[in-house]
Amino acid sequence: MNFLDIKTDFAFKKVFGSDESKDLLISFLNSVIEFDQQQIITDLTIVDPYSIPLLKGMKDTFVDVKAELSDNTQVIIEMQVLNHEGFEKRVLYNAAKNYSLQLKKGDAYHLLNPVIALTITDFILFKNSDELINNFKLLEKNHFIQYSDDIELIFIELPKFHKTEEELISIQDKWLYFIKNAGNLDYMPKNLNQELQRAFNIANEANLSQEELELQHKKKDWIYIQKSSIELATKTGLQQGLEQGLEQGLEQGLERGLEQGEWQEKLKIIENADRMGLSMQTIIELTGLDEEKIRLLLKK
Task: Name the more confident of 93 and 81.
Answer: 93
Mean pLDDT along residues 252-258: 53
Task: Name the more confident of 43 and 240.
Answer: 43
pLDDT tens profile 136-191:
999 998 988 988 889 999 999 999 999 999 999 999 999 999 999 998 999 999 88
d(CA 210, CA 81): 24
Give percent above pLDDT 90 in the chain.
Answer: 32
Neighbours of 98 (CB within 10 A): 19
Ranking 63-67, 87-91, 183-187 by mean pLDDT, the lowest is 63-67
Mean pLDDT along residues 218-245: 55
Please name every residue paired with 77 in a beta bridge, in sequence order, or none if there are none. 65, 118
Per-residue pLDDT, 148: 85
pLDDT higher than 80, residue 269: no
Give the model's confidence band at 66: pLDDT under 50 very low, under 70 low, under 90 confident, else very high. confident
Per-residue pLDDT, 26: 92
Compute CA distances 225 → 214, 268, 299, whole Å. Answer: 17, 11, 21
Contact status, residue 177 vs residue 162, Cβ threshold 8 Å: no
pLDDT higher than 70, residue 243: no
Ranking 76-85, 199-208, 268-277 by mean pLDDT, the lowest is 268-277
Per-residue pLDDT, 40: 85
Per-residue pLDDT, 215: 65
Task: Name the more confident of 180 and 280.
Answer: 180
d(CA 286, CA 268): 12
* Residue 271 CA from chain centroid, whole number: 26
Compute CA distances 268 → 205, 263, 274, 286, whole Å. Answer: 30, 9, 10, 12
Mean pLDDT along residues 20-39: 86
Task: Name the more confident of 105 and 73.
Answer: 73
Per-residue pLDDT, 59: 44
d(CA 122, CA 129): 16
Does this model's pTM top 0.85? My answer is: no
pLDDT higher than 90, residue 8: no
